[in-house]
Chains A and B, each alone.
Chain A
Amino acid sequence: MDFRDSRVDALFRDEVRTWLEREVPVLGQAPDRLEERVEWWRPWQRRLHDAGYAGLAWPREYGGRGASVLQQAIFYEECDRAGAPDRLDVISAGFAGPTLIEHGTSTQKNRFLDRILTGEDLWCQLFSEPGAGSDLASLTTRAVRDGGGWRIHGQKVWTSAAQVAEYAILLARTGEGERHRGISFFILPMRQSGVEVRPLRQMLGGAEFNEVFLDGAYVPDELLVGPLGGGWKVAMSTLGYERAAIATGRVNTLRLLKELIALVKNTKDPDGRALGQDAFIRQKVAELYGRMTLQRITGKRILSTLAEGGAPGPEASTAKLFITPLVEDICDFALSVIGIEGQEEPNDADPARARWLRLAYQARGTSIAGGTTFIQRNILAERVLGMKRD
């Protein structure tokens, strides 16, 4: 066991830190609306790409840098430290790309991977349906043979970022067979007739997820990923990447703790005493700080297992269940420090406050998305602890 960077990794860390310290401060605040945020984010992603930091751990042949998973982790750590923008390519670079690298044809890889890394193409995930949520294998969207390709008929729902996506990873039935047999995994071009995206308003008001109606949308044969009827296995590896992405830090908890500490420092209780002297507040911040460090060390542990070529161990499965309530608790606590004004509708007057509120709600969404908390617990009990299914 050794937590120090190797000599090479330490050099890499210095290089990244210097680069970020130069580039990040000039960026300014990200816009709130998704569509505007994407336009704001693209040039940043382009700069990352040109500097060689996009797809660090992807193979060189697909536009990556061929670096180790550890260097990838070092890069994200430094991004957190520097306060770099949140990633908008989590679905494309975090789950769709790795799925293509693992299961895609070489034509698919050549066509799609580079544009994912440059940020030109964002992707969305067309898995869930009105009748198929936790029980994804009960999906009913059909792919019907049409010449050298397929026509897709069905309805998807809760599709995050469909309105800004060029492509989707799609699950549809191509054959008969029970449940997860007969499901195929496709790449669907989103900008075509037969694909209708209707935004759904989320509880806080923003419309970041959508209903997607598929009425004869076309997918050519060359956009089938994995064997015909063998899409379930491909989807399972996508969900694995999704879980890992959530667990190893879609949310920068280190930054949240720093902001929380600053908030406490700048707040006085109603009697005018510094809040940081209050025993309850001190205990709570220390507890959250401790959990944050454990979450981050666990993240490193997962990555070091992967770096040594091992399969993710039980710590990877527990990580989503550890980070989701942590983010909720940090945000709820920050809002309680702010008091009733923390319940104010997000506005420009106080962007920091608005961020806590948004993130608190977003964390509730995360605990449902990518397999609910209950489903994750079932997975842990059955697959890790080997307990009987009910």
Chain B
Amino acid sequence: MGRTTMRFAFSEEQEMLHDMIHAALQREAGLDKVRCWVEGENLLPFDEFVARNAWAGIGVGEEVGGQGGGLIEQTLMFEVLGRSVAPSGSLLAGAGVLGFASRIPDGVEQLHGLLEGKATVALCVNAGRPADQGASQVQVSGECLSGIVPMVLEAPGASQLLVPIPADDGLELWLLPADAPGVEIRSRRLIDRTRRFGDVHLQDVQARHLGRLPRDAAREVNAVMALLIAAESLGAARRMLDMTVEYVGQRVQFGVVVGSFQAVKHAAAEILVELEAAHSGIYYAAWALQEGQEDGVQQAWIAKAFATDAAVRTADRALMLHGAIGYTWEHDLQLFYKRVKLNQELLGSARTYRERLADALQLH
């Protein structure tokens, strides 16, 4: 308040939040642990850690039971989560669920326990498409839902499912317990094993109607999720860059560290150019969405398209710069490599968002 100039830097509180999350992850969810969870295909220890810290409430107003802060804080958290390839799928699903619920009257109150980490609610949509398209293959008859929703993020392990069903110019929101009669969840294994996916089969499942969300509100929630994915990819990419700079600074070939070759330096520098652009776009979009600026949704699309692609280019450059060692299972690079590949497709690829942007630009 009272500022007269624009400011991009984070506030002191935001810096502290960043450091707090970073330190907690280093302590409780280091790469050795992530590896162990991945190999054992059990992400519950991380879910429990997140629940203890109530991280689902970061960026959610205290008046509805959250920890306060806004989208900038939440975005920061996701960037830090990306840096650690933390199994953050349930936080991402939770952000979508909360986004939907908070835009209908008493929506958040109806999701008991989500903010405190006592319940996990999956957003029952195909995770490879924008969430605002809803679960289009699900039919409603009275209060019963039937249909199949493939590739639902964090469906295995969720205690409830929030099913948004397309209706004219918006989404109808339905809630059901994941163990209700008629619900079957079939797990699918992706190569990024830090995330759980499942196909949700519904057959005459009794559900509770929560309310109706207008199209624009649904788009805004989707933009928030897209932004969080972008931030996560940025975090993962920054970590890959750090790993690479460190490695080429010690790997000796031809009697010198390979980091002294210009080709190697240029490749690293090119990564940096892209990641700084991604950083600008992501935090601008966070601010714009948080403050209800007109261009918020569009900037989130741009951030998603650019940052998730840039992170994949980073991954390939990082792999090349590591040589064969980076191509092994034992090297941590593969964890980040697979995560950013998945993030590229999650919620729809860059092509989807560029298409939306082109529509908005009214090219014809």
* Residues in A lying within 8 Å of B, measured CB to CB: 128, 131-135, 138, 157-158, 200-205, 209, 270, 280, 328, 336, 339-345, 347, 357, 364-365, 367-369, 372-374, 377-378, 390
For this complex, 23 residue pairs linking A to B, each with C-beta atoms less than 8 Å apart, are A133-B253, A134-B253, A134-B323, A135-B254, A157-B324, A201-B328, A201-B329, A202-B327, A202-B328, A203-B328, A340-B127, A340-B128, A340-B342, A343-B190, A364-B327, A367-B320, A368-B320, A369-B324, A372-B323, A373-B320, A374-B264, A374-B320, A390-B261
B253 touches A374 (CB 8 A): no
Task: Name which of B23-31, B229-237, B345-353 contacts chain A.
Answer: B345-353
Q: A347: which B residues are within 8 A, CB to CB?
A: 189
A339 touches B261 (CB 8 A): no
Smallest CB separation, B345 vs chain A (Å): 4
Contact pick for A368, options B192, B255, B324, CB 8 Å? B324
A280-B351, A342-B345 as given contacts; A364 in contact with B324, CB under 8 Å = no
A134-B253, A138-B253, A203-B337 as given contacts; A344 in contact with B190, CB under 8 Å = yes
B324 touches A341 (CB 8 A): no
Smallest CB separation, B100 vs chain A (Å): 20
A364-B316, A377-B263 as given contacts; A336 in contact with B253, CB under 8 Å = no
B333 and chain A: residue at smallest CB distance: A203
Residues of B in contact (CB 8 Å), total 44
A134-B253, A138-B253, A336-B349 as given contacts; A368 in contact with B323, CB under 8 Å = yes
Cα A209 to Cα B258 in complex, Å, equals 24
Cα A343 to Cα B337 in complex, Å, equals 12
Q: Does B295 reach chain A (CB closer than 8 Å)?
A: no
A368 touches B327 (CB 8 A): yes
A133-B323, A203-B337, A340-B127 as given contacts; A345 in contact with B328, CB under 8 Å = no
Smallest CB separation, B76 vs chain A (Å): 26
A204 touches B263 (CB 8 A): no
Interface of chain A, main secondary structure:
mixed
A138-B253, A340-B151, A344-B191 as given contacts; A133 in contact with B334, CB under 8 Å = no
Q: Per-position contact with A for B248-263: 1 when CB-CB < 8 Å, else 0?
A: 0000111100100111
A200 touches B191 (CB 8 A): no
Q: A390: which B residues are within 8 A, CB to CB?
A: 261-262
Smallest CB separation, A183 vs chain B (Å): 16
Q: B151: which A residues are within 8 A, CB to CB?
A: 340-341
Smallest CB separation, A311 vs chain B (Å): 27
A342 and chain B: residue at smallest CB distance: B345
Q: B341: which A residues are within 8 A, CB to CB?
A: 343
B191 touches A343 (CB 8 A): yes
Q: Does B279 reach chain A (CB closer than 8 Å)?
A: no
Q: B22: which A residues are within 8 A, CB to CB?
A: none
Q: B261: which A residues are within 8 A, CB to CB?
A: 374, 390
B349 touches A339 (CB 8 A): yes
Q: A134: which B residues are within 8 A, CB to CB?
A: 253-254, 258, 323
Q: A342: which B residues are within 8 A, CB to CB?
A: 345
Q: Does B208 reach chain A (CB closer than 8 Å)?
A: no
